[in-house]
């Protein structure tokens, strides 16, 4: 079960990075695309280092597939930054965890992966739990009140679909080259897309200002955790079906809750999450459903 240990380690890193993203986007950066630019830049630097240490050994077709995987990830990064600049992290991050359903679809139809009935049920349990936790207002039949969803939810859901496509594309590339090479090329594809942030004048100005004021160090250091996590995930994909590894990634939600609670307690002026009363009960119930889904999928 080495692949599962790799996924868990990656999710610890990414959960912490998620919350730093939220703080940076809500208190430091006005333009989420500017932040995404630095995310891509750090990945490009890391990718070049990987390619220097582990020279690419594969065909042009394999390189193109890996680059496409990174490009899809870059698009997801722009969508992620936009969504997190609009809503609460502990609700939007779980919604992103609906991506296992997208990964399952792409992996089934494009890669020919097949899961058992219990594993498919686990994927759906994960998705239901992720969607449940995005509800900000419970329905009331007596008051004819419909459930409402967090602002930015639609963007994050589309982000999840794109991310699922990127995971399936990574798995396709892994059929021909090592995970070191896949991520080395994918990191360049990611930056190729996030650099489109330069098209926005407001993003360009903020990028320049951030470099002058050394604020770029915040996303740069944070993205190192993402980069390490992504390399671990690529290694996990090389050891098992991408559909299974993708579902297991939703365990990140547990770590997000823990880190969000700690941040709210020790950094109340910079970070506030709704973690009490019925809201907390709803999140814990959704977490339990996600944990069940991960168990059914992985074991």
pLDDT of residue 271: 62
Which is nearest to 33 in space by CA: 154, 193, 157, 228? 193
Please report the pLDDT score of residue 280 as a whole number: 74
Per the DSSP assignment, residues forming a β-bridge with 233 are none
Q: How far apart are alpha carbons 201 and 84 in whole angstroms?
A: 21
Q: Where would I find the H helices in the chain?
A: 2-27, 32-53, 60-84, 89-96, 99-106, 117-132, 153-174, 179-194, 201-212, 217-237, 242-248, 252-266, 277-298
Instruction: Look at residues 35, 27, 15 and name the one whose alpha carbon lies nearest to residue 82.
Output: 35
218 close to 28: Cβ distance less than 8 angstroms: yes
- Which pLDDT belongs to residue 217? 65
pLDDT at residue 269, as a whole number: 65
- Please report the pLDDT score of residue 274 as a whole number: 62
| Phi and psi torsions of 149, nearest 5° | -120, 150
Between CA 236 and CA 135 the distance in angstroms is 31
What pLDDT is attached to residue 268?
A: 64
Other CB atoms within 10 Å distance of the CB of residue 110: 13
Tally of CB atoms within 10 A around 105: 16
Instruction: Write down the pLDDT at residue 94.
Output: 66
pLDDT at residue 166, rounded to an integer? 95
To the nearest 10 degrees (0 to 180), the angle between helices 89-96 and 60-84 is: 150
Asked whether 35 and 83 are in contact (CB, 8 A), the reply is: no
> What is the residue-level pLDDT of the chain in tens, covering all 299 positions?
789 899 999 999 888 887 776 666 666 667 778 888 888 898 899 999 999 999 998 889 999 999 999 999 999 989 987 887 777 665 676 677 778 889 999 999 889 998 888 888 888 888 787 777 666 555 554 555 545 566 778 888 899 899 999 999 999 999 889 989 998 999 999 999 999 988 888 888 888 887 877 766 666 677 788 888 888 999 999 999 998 898 888 778 778 777 777 777 776 666 666 666 677 777 778 878 888 887 887 77
- pLDDT value, residue 159: 93
Q: How far apart are CA 180 and CA 198, in angstroms?
A: 29
- Kindly list the domain boundaries of the chain, sorted by start residue: 2-298
Distance CA 294, CA 26 (A): 31
Question: Per residue in 203-223, is it b (16+ CB within 10 Å) or e — as a string?
Answer: bbebbeebeeeebbebbeebb
Residue 66: per-residue pLDDT = 94
Q: What is the DSSP letter of 139?
A: -
């Amino acid at each position: 079960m080495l692949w599962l240990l790799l996924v868990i380690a990656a999710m610890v890193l990414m959960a912490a990075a998620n919350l730093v993203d939220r703080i940076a986007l809500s208190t430091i950066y006005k333009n989420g695309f500017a932040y995404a630019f630095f995310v891509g830049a750090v990945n490009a630097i890391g990718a070049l280092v990987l390619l220097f240490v582990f020279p690419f050994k594969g065909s042009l077709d394999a390189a193109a597939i890996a680059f496409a995987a990174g490009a899809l990830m870059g698009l997801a990064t722009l969508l992620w930054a936009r969504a997190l600049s609009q809503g609460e992290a502990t609700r939007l991050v779980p919604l992103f965890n609906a991506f296992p359903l997208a990964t399952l679809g792409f992996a089934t139809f494009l890669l020919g992966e097949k899961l058992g009935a219990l594993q498919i049920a686990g994927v759906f349990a994960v998705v239901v739990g992720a969607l449940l936790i995005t509800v900000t207002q419970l329905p009331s039949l007596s008051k004819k009140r419909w459930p409402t969803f967090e602002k930015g939810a639609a963007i994050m859901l589309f982000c999840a679909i794109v991310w699922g496509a990127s995971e399936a594309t990574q798995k396709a590339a892994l059929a021909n080259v090592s995970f070191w090479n896949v991520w080395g090329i994918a990191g360049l594809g990611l930056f190729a897309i996030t650099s489109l942030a330069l098209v926005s004048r407001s993003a360009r100005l903020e990028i320049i200002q951030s470099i002058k004021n050394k604020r770029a160090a915040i996303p740069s250091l944070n993205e190192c955790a993402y980069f390490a996590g992504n390399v671990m995930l690529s290694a996990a994909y090389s050891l098992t079906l991408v559909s299974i590894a993708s579902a297991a990634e939703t365990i990140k939600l547990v770590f997000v809750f823990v880190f969000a609670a700690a941040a709210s307690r020790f950094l109340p002026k910079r970070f506030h999450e709704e973690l009490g009363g019925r809201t907390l009960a709803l999140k814990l119930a959704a977490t339990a459903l996600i944990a069940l889904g991960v168990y059914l999928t992985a074991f």
